Amino acid sequence: MIQVKNLTKEFGRIDNGGGVLALSDIDFQVRDNEFVTVIGPSGCGKTTLLRIIAGLIPYQHGEVSIDSHPVVGPGPERAVVFQNFALLPWTDVLGNVTFGLDVRGATKSDSQAKAKELIKLVGLEGFEQRLPKELSGGMQQRVGLARALAVSPRILLMDEPFGALDEQTRRLLQEQLLQLWERERKTVVFITHSMEEAVMLGDRVMLMTPRPGKVKEMIDIPLKRPRPPDIEKSPAFVEIKEYLWENLRAMQTHQS
């Protein structure tokens, strides 16, 4: 379980007049095998929150723990999928997917066997020897997902992974991610700016306020799994999406 209590994050020193309060008194938890999506106005600290859970940046106050163990840095139980793919440009698809396994000391035969299985799983069989520059954005993001899954993390932290993709590719990858989640049942925290995506993917949606980011509400998504392709037409889907939009619009109207 991911537990966040009274989390506050400042950049710079606010008491010196030059700092920024990014997050304030964040409280929430993510249960094992749960898929939580996070949405809020631009600049509300979603990515900062994810990077803190990943152990990539420090925080000033509060507690962040996984299974009651404080987060003090990156750990083998967590893997991050970024929006910008973050692939190694000098090595091919196979090399990118095996990278984390190689770092952890897996044998070459074991790491390549697992990587090939995952490359097939994300629909890239036959592209093992291609460099990232030879792939489309959607294909690169599939490589990033396969690389994250290769190290067998219990927790996937995903920072708007489909945000830079065209609508068709985005929808295909959403469906693929849901299929992978049904198979793997990882604990997932998924940052998004898309209301449709937040409802489509999540068991719960965490709605954040404008900066300094706080948790405004945790919204349960009462939609059956596996999610059917036409789920967006269901009354419950439409109702939750509209509820999110009403809240986000009100927050941003109030800001301006």
Average pLDDT on 123-138 reads: 92
What does the alpha-carbon distance between residue 114 and residue 43 come to, in Å, rounded to a whole number? 38
Cα dihedral 191, 193, 194, 198 sign: positive
Question: Domains along the chain?
Answer: 1-75+188-256 (3.40.50.300)
- With a cut of 60, say whether residue 42 has pLDDT above it: yes
Structure tokens at 4: 């966040």
Nearest Cα to 194, choosing from 161, 224, 218, 222?
161
Angle between helices 108-121 and 137-150 (to 10 degrees): 130
pLDDT tens, residue by residue, 63-106: 999 999 999 999 989 999 888 778 899 999 999 999 888 888 88
Average pLDDT on 27-36 reads: 96
Structure tokens at 38: 């996070």
DSSP labels, 183-234:
HH--EEEEE-S-HHHHHHH-SEEEEEPSSSB-EEEEEE----SSPPTTGGGS
What does the alpha-carbon distance between residue 175 and residue 201 come to, in Å, rounded to a whole number? 9
pLDDT tens, residue by residue, 237-250: 999 999 999 999 98
